Structure 1
Amino acid sequence: MKRLLIVDDSDVIRNKIDRDVANGVHPPLQVVGKAKNGVEAIVMFKKYRPQLVTMDLTMPEMDGLQCIKEMAALDRNVNILVISALSDEYSGLLALQYGARGFLYKPFNDYELREAVAQLLAASDLAESNHPRAS
């Protein structure tokens, strides 16, 4: 089962993502942590090594862009889905440049989230089948 780390400074959004992903993503994901800022996220990322991370951009202590950079430096294969209310193209482009693989705007519904996660995981699985990791 693939592991998911949820990163957002809002309890409401963290719980919504957890609930929406638990009810309908196939194959199922195991939520291994919910971080409220980038500092917590890096600690949890190192501990649990999730294959998928949902990431807000605007958070206290360490913003999402810096967190994406650090996670991508630790694991270039991590799938990061940015979920943000920021609608400026610059932040989205920077997130993708730093290592994010997808972007979803807030507010979002459960279908949009599940679809974005499924597309990200399908692309990741395809990439892995074309370029298997060395044992």
Structure 2
Amino acid sequence: MQRLMIVDDSQIIRNRIQRSMRYHSVEVVAEAADGEEAFELFKRYRPNVITMDLNMPKMGGLEAIKKIMEIDSRVSILVVSAMSDRKTGLRALQSGARGFIQKPFTDEQLVMAINKLITTKVRRG
């Protein structure tokens, strides 16, 4: 079973991601509304998969990705963001994210992106 942390400043998006994962082998172990909270919850719950928004208060997603990757570079991070320009996506991937989907997204797109992260990780690790 994969352990997922959902990071987004929108409660609506966090609920939607959680609902999308309900029938898949993914357990939501934590939810965070900003990068600072995500970093603290990561240290406590050690999820192996994270969905990460980029534009959040306190600490943005790019900084949170970097800090989390310093602790555990094996975690798979999927950026889920409305920021769709190539430069931002590239910066997220360079920081350690392993995938990117743009808001708005369908449940199918989200499930496919997370499954891709999980299966790629299994083959790598």
- Report how many residues are paired: 125
| Distance in 1 between residues matched to 2:106 and 2:85, nearest whole Å | 20
| Percent identity of equivalent pairs | 49
* TM-score, length-scaled by structure 1: 0.91
Tell me the secondary structure at the aligned position of residue 80 of structure 2: strand
Tell me the secondary structure at the aligned position of residue 20 of structure 1: helix
Q: How does 1:37-116 map to 2 (within 5 A)?
A: 37-116=34-113
C-alpha RMSD of the superposition: 0.6
Letter in 1 for 2:3: R
Larger radius of gyration: 1
Unaligned runs of 5+ in 1: 129-135
Cross-structure match for 1:6: 6
| 1:89-121 residue CA offsets vs partner (Å, 9 max, x unmatched) | 111000000000000000001100000000110
Cross-structure match for 2:26: 29
Which stretches of structure 1, 4 residues or more, deviate above 2 A after TM superposition?
none
* TM-score, length-scaled by structure 2: 0.98
